[in-house]
Amino acid sequence: MAFGSVQKHSDYCHLPDSAMAPLENNSSNEVPGPRKSRLNKYAFAAALLASTTSVLLGYDIGVMSGAIIYIKEYIHISTIQVEILVGSLNVCSLIGSLLAGKTSDWIGRRYTILLAAATFFIGAILMGLAPSYAFLIAGRVIAGIGVGYSLMIGPVYTTELSPATSRGFLSSLPELFITIGILIGYLSNYFLASLPDHINWRIMLGLAGFPAIAIGFGVVLMPESPRWLVMKGRYDEANKILGKTSDTEEEAELRLEEMKRAASNLGCENSSHFSGKGVWKELLLRPSRPLRRILVAAIAINFFMQASGNDAVVYYSPEVFKAAGIHNKKKLFGITVIMGLSKTFFVLVSALFLDRFGRRPLLMIGTIGMVVSLVGLGLGSKFLGENDIKPTWAIVLSIIAVCADLSFFSIGLGPITWVYSSEIFPMKYRAQGSSVAVSVNRVVSGVVSMTFLTIAHKITFAGVFFILAGIMTVATIFFFFFLPETKGKTLEEIEALFEDKVSS
């Protein structure tokens, strides 16, 4: 069934009877207007702390684009070894994202965030002190596991803590921090490039350990996910947190009842020993029809996020601009700073308007914009690759097209992937379902990062960008027909969007 034509359901279809009474007492001629939503400061602060874990990946993506130039010259490694070094972090983050689902169901969302930060810190120190290529790879493997944990747990925690009216904004914060991390990485490249070549890349990579330490201390101030507490049967603790993340006491009670009902329906009520046992089997071997559709939607949006080539374009942007005729390292890093500023601005715009306009409109705008940008980048690269003289207009076109591609990604796929894939799973399956989707994300990112330069050398950068434009065209069609809108729905209501409904 195409989800573009899914019948809309009442926002009250899953509310307790006590919540329905005020509606039934209203006169038929008096329809209450929508309550003006406001951002809950406590939920915002907790989401902000949880989302800072995403800085770890963002910083690595940004800083590695510059550090790899000096690593290649200092250690004397081949193009294949460069791709393995860059992509190994993404591939190994698969391990962390797969483990994160089970781990977070067992020890809780909060301590899983701490585990992510600690693991990444060890990897960052190893990379900064690495005496050889083998040690660099070892550091990236360990850091990758930490990244996998952080990419899965940050959005899940934020989604479970957030009220429905601001869930889109708060759940998109991880992508904002990825982008901020990329920008910080670019700035590190720019300001550290003047240091001696044998030490600048070590400082670039080693600095990643500092945000990991800050995140570790931040966990102390964070509350646990109320939905995880409900699954553990710890209702009093969940109620206290909901009281702080809701605007009224009635709203907190309503959210708690919805969570308890969802836990009861999934066989989790009063299960103080809940640890996600049996979820993998139900999720992958015998899922219900709605759950299978949810899994396909989550996997698909994560697949297309990385198949767009965004990470590879960021990692290898200096190589792309070198091919365009820009060879001065300082200028290369200056251009990447402009790219980082552009990405940060547009992901912030998307986050601010996500709860107002919804997921689907911004996702469609983003993917269509990426198609146009990648075609423009392909044309610019093709002209530059076929001519020895590099005209200024073609270089400018390529720079604008790269910035546009990254900006449209930041409007659509970037933030919405984390929001969507963490909010559509039912409570029992959310942690481990999200870990499956994020694992696909990491595998595709790793494959693209580890093959980008090789493929570009075979078919040129222009050929790669035209292929990416084709992939984004397919993504646009898929999103239009198969992803329903989730704006304003509680997490307990969203599952119904994926059920078969007969229009009356």
Tell me how far CA of residue 8 lies from CA of 11, 77, 223, 350, 498, in angstroms: 9, 56, 34, 24, 11
The CATH superfamily holding the domain 41-498 is MFS general substrate transporter like domains (1.20.1250.20)
- Written as one string, the DSSP assignment of 196-240 is -HHHHHHHHHHTTHHHHHHHHHHGGGPPPPHHHHHHTT-HHHHHH
* pLDDT band (50, 70, 90) for residue 500: low
pLDDT of residue 191: 87
* pLDDT band (50, 70, 90) for residue 503: very low
For residue range 39-67, what is the model confidence (pLDDT) as tens digits? Answer: 888 888 888 888 888 888 888 878 887 88
Question: What's the CA gap between 238 and 14, in Å, rounded?
Answer: 20
* pLDDT band (50, 70, 90) for residue 137: very high
- pLDDT cut 90: percent of the chain above it: 17
442 and 94 Cβ atoms separated by less than 8 Å: yes
* pLDDT band (50, 70, 90) for residue 296: very high
Domain boundaries, the chain: 41-498
pLDDT of residue 314: 78
90 and 206 Cβ atoms separated by less than 8 Å: no
Start-to-end CA distance of the chain, whole Å, equals: 17
Average pLDDT of the residues of the chain? 81
Identify which has the larger pLDDT, 329 or 266.
329
From the list 464, 497, 433, the residue with the least C-alpha distance to 313 is 464
For residue range 299-323, what is the model confidence (pLDDT) as tens digits? Answer: 999 999 999 988 788 777 777 777 7
Q: In the predicted model, what is the mean pLDDT of residues 402-426?
A: 89
* pLDDT band (50, 70, 90) for residue 122: very high
Question: pTM for this one?
Answer: 0.71
The DSSP letter of residue 496 is G
Residue 19, pLDDT > 60, answer no
Residue 89, pLDDT > 90, answer no
pLDDT of residue 452: 87
pLDDT of residue 289: 86
pLDDT of residue 474: 97
H or E element that contains 54? none
